[in-house]
Amino acid sequence: MKKKPMWGKKTKLKSSYDVVIIGGGLHSLATAYYLATQHGITDIAIIEKNYIGFGGAGRNTAIVRANQRTQYNVPLYKEALDLWPVLTKELDYNLMFNNCGNLNLMHSEAAMKAARMTIATAQFHGVESHLIDSKEAKELVPALNISEDITFPIHGAMFHPPGGVVRHDAVVWGLAKGATQKGVEIHQQTEALGIGTKNGKVTSVTTDKGVINTKQVLVSAGGYSASLINGFLGIRLPISVLTIQAMVTQPIKPLLNHVVSSGAYHCYANQTLKGEIATGAHMDQWPNYTTLNTAHYIKHQAEALSEFLPSLRGLRFMRIWGGLADMTPDMAPIMDGNNQIEGFFMDCGWGYFGFKSCSAVGKYMAEFMASNTCPDMLKPFALKRYQEHKLMGETAALVSYSADN
Amino acid sequence: MALTITCPVCGKRNGYEFRYGGEEKGPRPEEKDMTPETWCDYVHMNNCVAGVQQEWWFHRDGCGSWFTISRDTTTNLEQEAQVAPNQEAINDEQV
């Protein structure tokens, strides 16, 4: 069978570029795409150790939404959500955006109260989000168990209609195609080994294929960013890298037409277009760089799902996989540039929110790098917020993900 | 991902019995001459090593001990037991 390339041709690594981006995931591809399309900067090399979409880009469960907690995060995710249909047209690539809506179950009066706050924030920022009771939730998802004799009875839900699911691989290929068409080079199987600096300025990036001279470098390598940034530049970050697992069941007839999630059960589920129930939950709570799976986790998923979606009892899990989530103490990302070293930019600490945010973040990081001025949208996300005790309040879920909080 | 942790009291046990307690960061910085930077560094910042690191664990569902081990974060395997530079001092204090 003849292989048809999904995106551009393989090129030879040059000895200098205007911009080098370490990591071939969605934040890197989106930043390169917007640098090329909106700022005319096309002399860009994306350096990827494995292949594009190897990390979080191809391992997330494809859910997108804009119902976060704080006023800094919501507008960013709203813009990301609004960009999916725009990018589908712009890239001429079907990203399979299915805005089926997200239903976030609440299992106590305290949770309902917290949801009211979150919904008020969303509505203030023009994001559609409603509080509904358990009967209304049952009308939306008839498979839900709203009886009172389960571990965490459902009191109500936060319904966020504009959210949904986007095909993550399509976003990887679409952005790669869009960026390479403008002249961006993607170098797979190329490992970054160091960042060279002189007099407080970035001068080069060393790779296993040679040294590249550059004045600007962006590290947006998902879960691997913190280790790379510390290893290359000695900049320590408030990050814990944890494994998050996900799995799909065997395909069944249409049952779930919304993404359903539950904080109390630590479980979310949606039905893919193939009919599988894709489901995931919280993270294994010790830092590691493996993407291995545990029986513990499968058992937890089965227990949670069979309580609030009892018709799934007896279904078989077909596949299970893991990815890395780089968690920060305030569950909000770190986007910074020119602050530690001139020409050094970072975009990391996204935890399990990297996919939902990639489109908008690419746009703003591109603006940041092209103008060397931090856009207002990204200002609250600078690294120095931890020193100034200006942590963001995204930890509304009351779950301790990092050992440090 | 068969994580096992060796507790100094209970021996080698299933990793899910334990709570991870953070990277070994040395002693708490002195209050005197403390800057926001040194405090932030101690409280929040991590090395995030992809390799062997010294780290704290708490035997939550067991004897309740706090102790350090060396573990390879790329394999989840414990390394040869060794005492953290300041753990001896801490243990002495508790005795």
A227 to chain B, minimum CA–CA distance in Å? 5
pLDDT at A187: 97
Non-local CB neighbours of A149 within 8 Å, separated by 6+ positions: none
Among the partner-chain residues A289, A296, A326, the one whose CB lies closest to the CB of B74 is A289
Among the partner-chain residues A227, A240, A294, the one whose CB lies closest to the CB of B50 is A227
Query: What average pLDDT does the segment B6-34 reach?
Result: 95
Please tell me the total count of domains within chain B.
Answer: 1
User: For residue range B32-58, what is the model confidence (pLDDT) as tens digits?
Assistant: 999 999 999 999 999 999 999 999 999
What is the average pLDDT score of chain A?
A: 94
Query: What average pLDDT does the segment A87-94 reach?
Result: 97
Instruction: Nearest chain B residue to A223 by CA: give it.
Output: B48
Residue B36 lies in domain: 4-94
DSSP calls for A326-339: EE-TTS--EEEESS
Domains of chain A are: 19-60+168-239+330-397 (3.50.50.60), 102-161+240-327 (3.30.9.10)
Q: Determine contact: B79 vs chain A, CB below 8 A.
A: no
User: For residue range A100-111, what is the model confidence (pLDDT) as tens digits?
Assistant: 999 999 999 999
Q: Determine contact: A227 vs chain B, CB below 8 A.
A: yes
Instruction: Nearest chain B residue to A385 by CA: give it.
Output: B40
What A108-112 contacts at long range (C-beta under 8 Å, 24+ apart), as own/partner pairs, is A108/A152, A108/A155, A108/A264, A109/A155, A111/A155, A111/A263, A111/A264, A112/A155, A112/A156
> β-strands A344-348, B4-7: how paired?
unpaired
pLDDT at B88: 52
A93 to chain B, minimum CA–CA distance in Å? 36
Which residues of chain A neighbour B40 with C-beta distances below 8 Å? 386-387
Question: What's B84's domain CATH number?
Answer: 3.30.2270.10
- Identify the three-state secondary structure at position B19: strand
Which residues of chain B neighbour A292 with C-beta distances below 8 Å? 1, 76
Among the partner-chain residues B19, B41, B75, the one whose CB lies closest to the CB of A236 is B41
| Residue A253 neighbours by CB distance under 10 Å | 6
A337 and A368 Cβ atoms separated by less than 8 Å: yes
> Residue A217: pLDDT above 90?
yes
pLDDT at B22: 94
Q: By CB neighbour count within 10 A (0-12 exposed, 13-18 middle, 19+ buried), where does A36 fall? A: buried
pLDDT at A230: 98
Q: How confident is the model at residue A398 (pLDDT cuts 50, 70, 90)?
A: very low
Among the partner-chain residues B2, B16, B48, the one whose CB lies closest to the CB of A241 is B48
A291 to chain B, minimum CA–CA distance in Å? 8
> Residue B18: pLDDT above 60?
yes
Q: Determine contact: A74 vs chain B, CB below 8 A.
A: no
User: For residue range A155-186, what is the model confidence (pLDDT) as tens digits?
Assistant: 999 999 999 999 999 999 999 999 999 999 99
- Identify the three-state secondary structure at position A283: strand
pLDDT at B94: 47
Non-local CB neighbours of A85 within 8 Å, separated by 6+ positions: A97
- Say which amino acid occupies B76: N
Q: Determine contact: A290 vs chain B, CB below 8 A.
A: yes
Q: Determine contact: B44 vs chain A, CB below 8 A.
A: yes
User: B16 and A386 in contact by Cβ < 8 A?
Assistant: no
- Say which amino acid occupies A24: G
Among the partner-chain residues B2, B16, B48, the one whose CB lies closest to the CB of A227 is B48
B75 to chain A, minimum CA–CA distance in Å? 6
Comparing A200-204, A268-272, A367-371, A394-398, which segment has the lowest mean pLDDT?
A394-398
Q: Per the structure block, which two tokens stand in for A171?
A: 């976003």
Query: What average pLDDT does the segment A366-382 reach?
Result: 98
How does DSSP classify residue A292?
Answer: -
> Percentage of chain A surpassing pLDDT 70?
97
Q: Determine contact: B49 vs chain A, CB below 8 A.
A: yes
> Residue B87: pLDDT above 90?
no
pLDDT at A108: 95
A267 and A261 Cβ atoms separated by less than 8 Å: yes
Task: Using alpha carbons, select from A372, A390, A370 the residue that is nearest to residue A380.
Answer: A390
Instruction: Nearest chain B residue to A321 by CA: give it.
Output: B1
Query: What is this structure's pTM?
Result: 0.94
> Residue A289: pLDDT above 80?
yes
Which residues of chain A neighbour B58 with C-beta distances below 8 Å? none
Specify the residue for token string 């990827």. A48
Q: How confident is the model at residue B81 (pLDDT cuts 50, 70, 90)?
A: low
Non-local CB neighbours of A380 within 8 Å, separated by 6+ positions: A72, A390, A392
Task: Using alpha carbons, select from A16, A98, A12, A10 the residue that is nearest to residue A52.
Answer: A10
A77 and A360 Cβ atoms separated by less than 8 Å: yes
> Residue A56: pLDDT above 50?
yes
- Say which amino acid occupies A18: D
A239 to chain B, minimum CA–CA distance in Å? 6
